Amino acid sequence: MKRSVVEQTMMTKIYLIRHGETEDADSRRYKGHIDVPLSENGIEQVKRLARHLGRKSGSGPVSGELQAVYCSDLSRARKSAEIIAAPFGLKPVITDGLKERNFGVWEGMSFDEIKEKWPDAFKAWAENPLQYSPLEGESTLAVRDRAIKAFHEIVSRHDGEQIALVAHGGINRVILCELLGIPLENIFRIEQDFSALNVIELWDYPVIRHMNFVA
């Protein structure tokens, strides 16, 4: 029987990271599965985080070496993961379960455009993202199921190690809610800025040491 993430024999540390800023980030659009590249600022954000992660002082949110880096296949996460992995001589492992939510017909649209065209649907989604989903998009439960499955599979390979998962705002929120026991209706109460770092320790139960830290 597969062990749960709280049944590790040694403490496992996970650096859960959101990718850096993307091009056209100011317009507040649902990117979803659209493959939008990092902006120049986004690249610099992740480079700062990589320098922070590469410190070996043993102080602050990070200490020691990374043993593995995982990421989604979208270029904004993949490029961020490559920058994070480079100081440790690692190559990121592409993991489908870490891919951002599919936003259906809302993909590529700005929040204002969606609110103008589908005001009731957007309001319902914003108020209860568990009960309602983006039109023709992926439900929060479906995202939770695949993201947590990927999380468990990754953790099972790295008992007692330090690893990085480079994903997306939606994926990170779902994982953090699961570990903290927060109802999924409240995913939007967790902020995930571009290049945000969340530090998770898995003991007999998960401990969130840092959340939404930006280098």
> What is the set of active-site residues?
19, 100
Phi, psi of 93 (to 5 degrees): -100, 120
Backbone angles phi, psi at 144, to 5 degrees: -60, -45
Degrees to nearest 5, angle at CA 111 with 110 and 115: 120
**Which two structure tokens, joined as six digits, stand for 196?**
């945000």
Instruction: Give the number of other CB atoms < 10 A from CB of residue 59.
Output: 8
Let me know the angle formed at the C-alpha of 191 by 188 and 193, rounded to the nearest 5 degrees.
Answer: 135
Provide the sign of the torsion angle of the four alpha carbons 89, 95, 98, 101, taken in this order.
positive
Output the six-digit token pair for 137.
């998009």
Burial label for 41, CB within 10 Å (0-12, 13-18, 19+), is middle
Q: How many CB atoms lie within 10 A of CB 68?
A: 18
The DSSP letter of residue 48 is H
3-state secondary structure (DSSP) of residue 163: strand
